Amino acid sequence: MDNYKKNILITGGAGFIGSHVVRLFVNKYPEYNIVNLDKLTYAGNLANLKDIEDKPNYTFVKADIADLDEMRRIVRGHAIDGIIHLAAESHVDRSIKDPFTFARTNVMGTLALLQAAKEYWDTLPDKYEGKLFYHISTDEVYGALELTHPEGVESPFTTVASSAEHHHAFGTEFFLETTKYQPHSPYSASKASSDHFVRAYHDTYGMPTLVTNCSNNYGPYQFPEKLIPLFINNIRHGKPLPVYGKGENVRDWLFVEDHARAIDLIFHKGKVADTYNIGGFNEWKNIDLIKVIIRTVDRLLGNPEGHSEKLITYVTDRAGHDLRYAIDSRKLQRELGWEPSLQFEEGIEKTVRWYLEHQDWMDHITSGAYERYYEEMYSGR
């Protein structure tokens, strides 16, 4: 540990976004010691990090963030200087069925981490100097926006070049860093609560904290209960594509590697106690997005165009389903110079190709074999 410039704890590092952040930091900063903490629930998979698991500046620790004593041991034992906190229960449907698990992990887990960091940093001669607790949140804490586009308008293909104009066909209102919190699901309520605790630790104790709120991520290694990998896999197997309501809900989509780049930039150059929104300047109506996925998968599988559209199945809408999310990330663009690197059609092509080329990964996940493996490995059997 003494040989490293910083000891960074990344929570949820075996998950979708977390694994991309861990990989980026391990490869880009050999002078940092990266500790990946993950509970390895259903959404955590160490196969996501096979390519870096033997790097000298990487350590994996299996632990539950809601276990305060364990968080104290890890933060102190690894002499942690910075925390990038991604570990969270994140699937809205699961939160509707089991809100208590979301409150425990997202609220009490964040609180345990904050307290462990505070207690350890308070013992140091320089206290909070060079320390940071960086909390990753979601755009869902802001509630929902009106959908005001004319009927029948297709999703705009917004290029990076035109993103500065921030022009969309779905409405003129966007989530800003100052937008009032109005969560509508148990998931977003739990994330809103954790955001408040992070800011409270800065305001009460002077702890250096940062919060970012991001839009929907997509890309490689995403757990296949989420829309894009689920639909790619279902098309591959000829299974139904379940669409909530009429597929009118609008989301802003962000390529996961662009999110990881933003996290890296904000961790190093963001202003303490500030909030940054991270979005893709890239709104799509669900049904239009699904049709793009179908066209791309069919083309890459050699199916006739439109072959899999018959798999679209409209299902009863989710309770409290927000109509539109749209992030305004111009503050991040203006202050730190970040913008998305990929146009959406490039990103979707790259993503679909990855899932089709990594069918073993997908089959391993959908079979549940990886969960049984970790249970045995970490139970001492």
- Written as tens digits, the pLDDT of the chain (381 aa) is 568 999 999 999 999 999 999 999 999 999 999 999 999 998 899 999 999 999 999 999 999 999 999 999 999 999 999 999 999 999 888 999 999 999 999 999 999 999 999 999 999 999 999 999 999 999 999 999 987 754 544 444 343 333 333 335 688 899 999 999 999 999 999 999 999 999 999 999 999 999 999 999 999 999 988 899 999 999 999 999 999 999 999 999 999 999 999 999 999 999 999 999 999 989 999 999 999 999 999 999 999 999 999 999 999 988 878 889 999 999 999 999 999 998 888 999 999 999 999 999 998 888 876 555 445 545 543
Main-chain phi, psi angles of 143, to 5 degrees: 95, -135
CA distance readout (Å), 57 to 52, 129, 195, 330: 9, 23, 30, 34
As given in the structure block, the two tokens for residue 188 are 């977003």
Among the options 58, 128, 187, 218, which is catalytic?
A: 187
* Sequence letter at residue 371: E
Among the options 64, 81, 140, 195, which is catalytic?
A: 140
Answer positive or negative: Cα dihedral of 70, 94, 226, 107: negative
As given in the structure block, the two tokens for residue 288 are 């239009």
| SS3 (DSSP) at 150 | coil
Instruction: Tell me the β-bridge partners of 137.
Output: 213
Q: Would you call 139 a catalytic residue per the annotation?
A: yes
Q: Would you call 140 a catalytic residue per the annotation?
A: yes
* pLDDT score recorded for residue 212: 98
Among the options 64, 81, 89, 139, which is catalytic?
A: 139
Among candidate residues 219, 231, 342, the one with its CA nearest the CA of residue 281 = 342
* pLDDT score recorded for residue 149: 57
Q: Would you call 67 a catalytic residue per the annotation?
A: no
The whole-angstrom separation of Cα 27 and Cα 25 is: 6
The whole-angstrom separation of Cα 203 and Cα 208 is: 9
